[in-house]
């Protein structure tokens, strides 16, 4: 009985320690990647502003060929929503909305996940001319893990988890656009 009490006390101590640590940990994360595409800025932005095109280069969209999608609004305009639902746990259910478009420069999105967990993240794509026929695309994801779930960030490498998928998606985008 004494050993059981000691184990419970140690477990409670570990939980309290993590809760205290969580108070001091950051809650925000940001992961961004770049690619240079051999196309004009106008051509690249003209392709990227249509949210449906993300399904052609995004790693996440290609994970489930049977994923159900639904689109609401006019693609390429603020307020357009792309929703998805998948039986694959890591893909789950959610939607992405175009929040703002600065023509030729930047597209801001809100991503709302419903399953496997509820959360909201933000993303944006920017284009900048390197030369007449070279364009830099920057793709960035930002999110927040509120206290006390922010303690999980001690065990998660968001750069590794999201960054690799962003890199692969950008490479897919580069291949698609340069073949057009």
Residue range 125-177, pLDDT digits in tens = 999 999 999 999 999 999 887 777 767 777 777 778 788 999 999 999 999 99
Alpha carbon separation from 144 to 13, 125, 131, 164 (Å, rounded): 26, 19, 36, 19
For residues 165, 169, 175 and 179, what is the CA-based torsion angle, rounded to 10 degrees?
160
Condensed to tens digits (0 to 9), the pLDDT of residues 62-111 reads 888 899 999 999 999 999 999 999 998 888 999 999 999 999 999 999 99
Q: How many domains is the chain built from?
A: 1
Higher pLDDT, 3 or 127: 127
For 58-110, the DSSP string reads: -HHHHT-TT-EEEEES-TTSTT-EEEEE-SSTTT-EEEEEEEEEETTTEEEEE
CA pair distance 172, 40, nearest whole angstrom? 17
Q: What is the mean pLDDT of residues 6-15?
A: 85
Supply the pLDDT for residue 38: 97
Higher pLDDT, 117 or 23: 117
Do 48 and 40 touch, CB atoms closer than 8 A?
Answer: no
Supply the pLDDT for residue 35: 98
Whole-model pTM: value is 0.83
Segments forming the whole domain that contains residue 89: 2-179
Query: Which pLDDT band holds residue 2 (cuts at 50, 70, 90)?
Result: confident
Give the CATH number, domain containing residue 163.
Answer: 3.30.530.20
Supply the pLDDT for residue 150: 66
Alpha carbon separation from 111 to 33, 51, 63, 119, 164 (Å, rounded): 18, 12, 17, 8, 19
């Amino acid at each position: 009985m004494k050993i059981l009490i000691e184990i419970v006390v140690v477990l409670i101590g570990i939980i309290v320690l993590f809760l205290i640590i969580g108070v001091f940990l950051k809650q925000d994360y940001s992961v961004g990647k770049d690619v240079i595409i051999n196309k004009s800025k106008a051509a690249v932005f003209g392709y990227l502003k249509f949210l449906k095109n993300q399904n052609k280069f995004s790693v996440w969209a290609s994970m489930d060929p049977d994923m159900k999608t639904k689109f609401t609004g006019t693609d390429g305009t603020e307020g357009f929503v792309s929703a998805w639902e998948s039986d694959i746990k890591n893909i789950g259910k959610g939607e992405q909305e175009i929040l703002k478009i600065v023509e030729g420069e930047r597209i801001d999105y809100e991503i709302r996940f419903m399953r496997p967990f509820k959360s909201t993240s933000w993303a944006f794509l920017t284009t900048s001319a390197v030369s007449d026929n070279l364009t830099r695309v920057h793709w960035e994801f930002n999110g927040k893990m509120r206290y006390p779930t922010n303690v999980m960030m001690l065990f998660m490498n968001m750069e590794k988890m999201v960054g690799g998928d962003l890199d692969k998606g950008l490479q897919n985008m580069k291949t698609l656009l340069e073949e057009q």
